[in-house]
Amino acid sequence: MENVEKNLQKLEQIERGKRIKNIRENELHMNKTQLAKEIGVSSQFLGLVENGKGNLVYKSLKRLRNLSGHSSDYILFGIDDSSISETKKILEQYSEIEINEAMKLLNNIAIFIKNQ
């Protein structure tokens, strides 16, 4: 059972590396050296991460998240975050007060529906 868990972790690490490489190449349009500098690692280490042989530490992951606009869940686990980024774009049009009022309204609608 322990070998199965290690194999799964290794596969996750490889897939995570592929996602990071995809973000770097296809979204950020950076080379390894550029991204490595931005997230605070060496280009050699970033190469290891992208090849599934290393993991980013919290600080570097946070920088990648901020730079790419992707959630940590997407970077780490491949969980689709497109609805999060679309929601962020929509919410940028409104003030914090307007968003809070809308949330109260949604909560009241949910309570109303639940009680029907």
Give one DSSP letter per residue of 5-67, joined into a string: HHHHHHHHHHHHHHHHHHIIIIIS---HHHHHHHHTS-HHHHHHHHTTS----HHHHHHHHHH
Average pLDDT estimate for 63-80: 93
User: pLDDT tens across 32-64, in order?
Assistant: 999 999 999 999 999 999 999 999 999 999 999
User: pLDDT tens across 12-36, in order?
Assistant: 999 999 999 999 999 999 999 999 9
Say if residue 81's pLDDT is above 90: no
CATH class of 1-79: mainly alpha
In this prediction the pTM is 0.72
| Whole-number pLDDT of residue 38 | 98
Domain extents in the chain:
1-79, 81-116
